[in-house]
């Protein structure tokens, strides 16, 4: 086996071209004289350099963690191209949960997959056994009320037989992706511009017509370098800047990218050593925050594409991030902790400890006074920067809390601040953040609820589930008013700026855009 410098130079040149570094590639080929080489017309697959490096890392991983007797040494620490490897020994279950269950966005969301079902059955069996043991030891006269935990006295929404079905004539199915569509995001400035991300290593920007019967233009395809196998080609996260001029995407290869509306690659941001699970612009648009399986968060300078600061405070995968303001942000992790950090300060401003399992989602309320969190420990919690313990512990769900959203709210409004939580127990709950009371239980889905989103006025809530259903609820009374039956599980829903369209990511490789007439 032999490798020549000429071959290496050619692979680097191809990488620069594929990544959009046109001027750098031109200078590199002139410095190395690759354009005069016999390799200049070589048939090399796209992403060859990245694939070779990833294969090398896999070999290094095996070399480091296989004992002389052939047994495998337990370790969840990432193997990186640069820097020493540090073994992180964990129990087999913890390693499986992080690298398989939480390590792959698709496995996190696909409730029908064997791994998730097995994990749920194990957790349910443990819970039931603990409850049975507790009931046997309990004195009937004991008072079992919990101090500081609000009671769930909400009236469950009754089945409503006359919910209007959104007809196929009021929906557009967007086809083009060749794998499950995981994420979508409406442009905040243009109510007709929609972005989507898929497991086919592409994101797409769609121009949605005003009426379902109008002709649909071909989307702009944003090609990400192909990853090593079919199982790690996911565009895992995306977000538009506040002006709607730039789109950021996170990929399973650990790289983030910034694109223009026309699909031009503005920056390729590479420093994470594992898949990116969360990505958010700050409101000003000068920073992007990313969270990864490698346990770190990175603040990126969007004018240069360079990493401004990296925080490594968590001991598990970073599952979600959210900005409080232009420089302060919160992060949540599979380690069960929530950190609040600030750009320019290495030490965290605050750490919130209280969850007993992975924290799947965090959201600052519209006024920045409260931070909500949802966890695999079946609870949601509301926190304040003014105290260490949670303000309210919301304990009514009977399975993992997977997603959440705050309703838009004006400071002058006398209406309660409402938090919606989506759970694997098939329900959505609406909470009063001022009292911790559960206002409504929205029960119509027959499988786990993956996603919730309020319309721009906060009067309606859209929910999606692997039961193939999108439901739209009236917030004031919790009544379902519209429903749409799709052809695959729903991963994510999102309202456009004008509130007349709901987009949904579908597990069959399509997007559905429903024109909602409320």
* Residue 147 pLDDT exceeds 60: no
Residue 252 has φ and ψ, to the nearest 5°, of: -65, -20
Judging by DSSP bridges, how do beta strands 401-406 and 392-394 pair with one another?
Answer: unpaired
* Residue 18 pLDDT exceeds 50: yes
Name the least confident of 88-92, 380-384, 463-467.
88-92
Question: Residue 208 in 3-state DSSP?
Answer: coil
Tell me which residue of 179, 192, 195 sits closest to 260, measured CA to CA: 195
* Residue 516 pLDDT exceeds 70: yes
pLDDT > 90: percent of the chain: 64
> Rounded to an integer, what is the distance from CA 336 to the centroid of its chain?
17
Rounded (5°) CA angle 92-118-78 = 35
Other Cβ atoms within 10 Å of 247 Cβ, number: 26
pLDDT score, position 55? 75
Question: Residue 153 in 3-state DSSP?
Answer: coil
CA atoms within 13 Å, Cβ hemisphere of 216: 18
- The residue ranking higher by pLDDT, 476 or 53, is 476
Report how far residue 88's alpha carbon sits from residue 80's, in angstroms, rounded to the nearest whole number. 14
> Rounded to an integer, what is the distance from CA 285 to the centroid of its chain?
20
Question: Residue 64 in 3-state DSSP?
Answer: helix
Name the least confident of 12-21, 100-109, 212-221, 504-513.
100-109
> Rounded to an integer, what is the distance from CA 292 to the centroid of its chain?
10
Average pLDDT in the 445-459 region?
A: 97
Residues 156-199: tens digit of each pLDDT: 544 555 789 999 899 999 999 999 999 999 999 999 999 999 99
Work out the pLDDT band at 71, boundaries 50, 70, 90.
Answer: low
Average pLDDT in the 328-338 region?
A: 98
Average pLDDT in the 132-137 region?
A: 50
pTM listed for this prediction: 0.74
Report how far residue 340's alpha carbon sits from residue 358's, in angstroms, rounded to the nearest whole number. 17
Report how far residue 253's alpha carbon sits from residue 239's, in angstroms, rounded to the nearest whole number. 18
Work out the pLDDT band at 131, boundaries 50, 70, 90.
Answer: low
Name the least confident of 37-41, 92-96, 374-378.
92-96
* Residue 86 pLDDT exceeds 70: no
- The residue ranking higher by pLDDT, 116 or 266, is 266
Hey, what are 446's tokens?
């027959």
DSSP annotation of 215 reads P
DSSP secondary structure string for all residues of 261-285: TT--EEEEEE--SS-EEEEEE-TTS
CB 289 within 8 A of CB 299: yes
CB 272 within 8 A of CB 315: no
Work out the pLDDT band at 115, boundaries 50, 70, 90.
Answer: very low
- The residue ranking higher by pLDDT, 94 or 240, is 240
Report how far residue 393's alpha carbon sits from residue 401's, in angstroms, rounded to the nearest whole number. 13
pLDDT score, position 73? 58
């Amino acid at each position: 086996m032999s490798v020549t410098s000429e071959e290496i130079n050619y692979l680097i040149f191809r990488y620069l071209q594929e990544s959009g570094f046109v001027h750098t590639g031109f200078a590199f080929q002139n410095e190395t004289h690759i354009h005069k080489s016999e390799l200049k017309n070589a048939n090399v697959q796209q992403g060859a350099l990245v694939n070779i490096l990833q294969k090398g890392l896999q070999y290094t991983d095996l070399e480091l963690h296989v004992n002389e007797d052939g047994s495998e040494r337990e370790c969840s620490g990432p193997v990186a191209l640069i820097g020493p490897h540090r073994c992180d020994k964990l129990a087999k279950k913890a390693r499986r949960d992080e690298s398989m269950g939480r390590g792959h966005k698709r496995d996190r969301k696909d409730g029908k997959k064997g791994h998730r079902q097995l994990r749920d059955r194990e957790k349910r069996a443990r819970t039931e056994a603990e409850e049975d043991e507790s009931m046997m030891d309990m004195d009937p006269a004991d008072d079992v009320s919990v101090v500081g935990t609000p009671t769930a006295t909400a009236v469950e929404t009754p089945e409503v037989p006359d919910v209007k079905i959104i007809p196929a004539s009021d929906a557009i199915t967007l086809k083009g992706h060749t794998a499950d569509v995981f994420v979508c995001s409406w442009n905040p400035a243009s109510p007709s511009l929609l972005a989507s991300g898929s497991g086919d290593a592409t994101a797409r920007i769609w121009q949605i017509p005003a009426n379902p019967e109008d002709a649909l233009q071909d989307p702009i395809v944003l090609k990400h370098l192909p990853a090593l196998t079919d199982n790690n080609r996911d565009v895992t996260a995306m977000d538009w800047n506040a002006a709607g001029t730039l789109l950021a995407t996170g990929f399973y290869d650990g790289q983030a990218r910034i694109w223009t509306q026309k699909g031009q690659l503005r920056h390729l941001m590479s420093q994470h050593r594992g898949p990116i699970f969360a990505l958010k612009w700050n409101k000003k648009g000068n920073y992007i925050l990313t969270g990864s399986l490698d346990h770190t968060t990175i603040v990126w300078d969007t004018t240069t594409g360079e990493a401004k600061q990296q925080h490594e405070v968590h001991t598990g995968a970073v599952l979600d991030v959210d900005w409080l303001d232009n420089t302060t942000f919160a992060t949540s992790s599979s380690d069960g902790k929530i950190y609040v950090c600030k750009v320019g300060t290495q030490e965290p401003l605050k750490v919130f400890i209280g969850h007993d399992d992975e924290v799947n989602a965090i959201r600052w309320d519209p006024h920045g006074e409260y931070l909500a969190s949802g966890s695999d420990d079946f609870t949601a919690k509301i926190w304040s920067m003014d105290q260490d313990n949670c303000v309210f512990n919301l304990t009514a769900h009977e399975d993992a809390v997977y997603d959440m959203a705050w309703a838009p709210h004006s400071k002058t409004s006398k209406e309660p601040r409402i938090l919606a939580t989506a759970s694997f127990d098939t329900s959505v709950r609406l909470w009063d953040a001022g009292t911790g009371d559960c206002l409504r239980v929205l029960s119509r889905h027959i499988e786990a609820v993956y996603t919730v989103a309020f319309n721009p006025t906060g009067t309606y809530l859209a929910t999606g589930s692997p039961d193939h259903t999108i439901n739209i609820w009236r917030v004031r009374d919790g009544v379902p008013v519209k429903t749409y039956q799709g052809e695959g599980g729903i991963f994510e829903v999102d309202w456009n700026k004008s509130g007349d369209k709901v987009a949904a990511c579908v597990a069959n490789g399509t997007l559905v855009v429903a024109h909602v007439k409320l």
